[in-house]
Amino acid sequence: MVWYLVHTYEDVLNRLIDDCRRMMPNETVGYLVGDIYQWRRKKWLEIIGFIPAPVQETDRYHAIVDKSRMGEIVKLLDEYYPDKIIVGWYHSHPGHGLFLSDLDIRSHQAVFGKSPHVALVVDPTTQPPSYAFFLLTGKGYTRASYIVWRRQHE
């Protein structure tokens, strides 16, 4: 069986996509919350939630995080996801497709340089919404394998 690096849940992903839709036609940005585990010497990453980032300015092509309000992110992380960490970031590309731009790569290198932090890109304009996880490599980036689990209703 394929080893999936990213494991997340359908309800989490749907809520995140809804958030991206609400911000249309502008971009949105935020952080992925979960933990990094290992099993049989292989790392895997679980995403259990997300925190939308406060943005300084946003338009169709950019979303600049308001760094002066980063404390709010930490507070939300402690309050809603105790013992969890930020395992990557997400942003939307409304109508642009799934890729990491030059600026995205530089942002990822600056903030999430440590492997296996991932970047999730969502295009909420497609039907159904499209998304992909990316991982930095030595000279660029590559798609990260992922699996989305559907929780069984109790």
List residues binding other proteins (CB under 8 A).
Answer: 1-2, 4, 7, 9-10, 35-39, 43-44, 46, 60-61, 95-102, 104-105, 132-133, 137, 139-141, 143, 145-152
Task: Closer to other proteins by CB, 19 or 46: give it.
Answer: 46
- Nearest-approach distance from CB 39 to other proteins, in angstroms: 5
- Nearest-approach distance from CB 19 to other proteins, in angstroms: 18
Alpha helices for 54-114 (secondary structure H):
70-80, 102-111
Task: Closer to other proteins by CB, 9 or 81: give it.
Answer: 9
Task: Closer to other proteins by CB, 69 or 143: give it.
Answer: 143
Rounded Cα distance, 95 and 60, in Å: 9
- Nearest-approach distance from CB 68 to other proteins, in angstroms: 27
- Nearest-approach distance from CB 96 to other proteins, in angstroms: 6
Task: Closer to other proteins by CB, 2 or 110: give it.
Answer: 2
Task: Closer to other proteins by CB, 24 or 105: give it.
Answer: 105
- Nearest-approach distance from CB 35 to other proteins, in angstroms: 7
77-85 contacts at long range (C-beta below 8 A, 24 or more positions apart): 77/33, 77/51, 80/49, 80/51, 81/33, 81/48, 81/49, 84/33, 84/34, 84/35, 84/48, 84/49, 85/33, 85/34, 85/35, 85/36
Rounded Cα distance, 55 and 20, in Å: 13
CA-wise closest residue to 122 among 10, 41, 6, 28: 28
